[in-house]
Structures are given as C-alpha cells and as structure tokens.
Amino acid sequence: KAGVTQTPRYLIKTRGQQVTLSCSPISGHRSVSWYQQTPGQGLQFLFEYFSETQRNKGNFPGRFSGRQFSNSRSEMNVSTLELGDSALYLCASSLRRKALPGGNEQFFGPGTRLTVL
C-alpha cells in the first residue's frame, strides 16, 4: 500500500500571502488530521477531517482552514501568512474505526516545510 503523500514538500512564501497544502491518505483511510510542528511548540494539532466534515479542531486562528474531498484527499489553507507560520506541516491518516481497540492509529506523511519570509 502506498503511504500518505503530501505536496508540495517545500514552500517559500512571503508575509501576507496565502498557501494551500495537499494530503492524500493511505488507500481506505477516511480520516485526515493536520499538525503543525515547530522546534519550540512541538507537534500541534490543527484539525481532523472525516467523511468530508471537520470532526476535531485545535486552537489555531481562523486563518488556518481545511477541507476534505469525497476521495478523502484533504487540503489545508493558510491565509495572510505570518513569520510565525514557518513550520513543518504534517498530515496523518487513519481508519478511524468506531470500535476499539485498534483503528485509530495515525500514519504520517513526509510533511510540507513552509518558510515565510
């Protein structure tokens, strides 16, 4: 099975611009979660999409948004970029099976490294 893929892998933008990142989950996985990772803050949860609906949300401003398509692919958008948005953006997919145990293990993509100048 192919793993989680993210595009692009690297991005350089300037303050005030907007950016869209893409994530394709593992085949059969319907849940996609997005994280921001910085050296100072660690891995911070942004949001999760399942069946095209946002199911969970972290504590990020409204400039960060996302969506999920019917094929489970997801996009994340950041508008009005700030210097502090420079980070590694990771997406992770899971089965999100209802009954535990098992089924909500998350598998990460390689990430998109965003640099804001």
Partner 1 sequence: QKEVEQNSGPLSVPEGAIASLNCTYSDRGSQSFFWYRQYSGKSPELIMFIYSNGDKEDGRFTAQLNKASQYVSLLIRDSQPSDSATYLCAVSRSSASKIIFGSGTRLSIRP
Binding region for partner 1 (CB under 8 A): 33, 35, 42-43, 45, 48, 55-56, 58, 88, 90, 96-111
Looking at beta carbons only, is 26 or 81 nearer to partner 1?
26
What are the CA-CA distances from residue 92 to residues 18, 31, 81, 109 (Å)? 22, 8, 23, 6
Looking at beta carbons only, is 12 or 18 nearer to partner 1?
12
Which residues are CB-neighbours of 67 under 8 A, at least 6 positions away?
49, 52, 74, 75
Residue 11 C-beta: closest distance to partner 1, Å? 16
Looking at beta carbons only, is 16 or 61 nearer to partner 1?
61
**Structure tokens belonging to residue 93:** 């997919």
Residue 80 C-beta: closest distance to partner 1, Å? 25
